Amino acid sequence: MGDRNRTLAIMKDPNCGPAGVIVIVLIILLKFAALYTLVITHEWITLLLAIILARTLLPLLFLTTPYVRSNGLGSSLATHQPRRWSLFIIVITFVLVSLLTIIVISF
C-alpha cells in the first residue's frame, strides 16, 4: 500500500514515540477493562469464543496475507503451512463456533 522500502524501514525502526507508548498503554487498559467486565458478568462463553477465534484467525491470515519481506518469519511459516488442513480446521472451527453461539443464544 505504498513504498515498499519505506514500509521495510518503518518495520525495522526500533524507536517508539510518545504517541505509540500512549496507544499501547490505552490498548492494554481497554483489554483489561473488557476482561474484567466479562469475568464480573460471568460471560465465560464469550471469553472462550474470543480465545478460539483469535487462535483460528492466525492460520487464516497466514494463508491470505501478502508479506513485505520474502525471507521473513511470516513468509516461511505460510509457505510450510499445510493449506488443505488449515482451511479444513478454519471452516470446522467457524461452524462449531456458530453452532455454539446459536445454542447459547437460544437458552
- pTM exceeding 0.85: no
The per-residue pLDDT for range 86-101, each reduced to its tens digit, is 999 999 999 999 998 8
Q: Which amino acid is at 39?
A: V
pLDDT of residue 6: 82
Half-sphere exposure in the Cβ direction for 74 (13 Å, CA): 13
DSSP 32: H
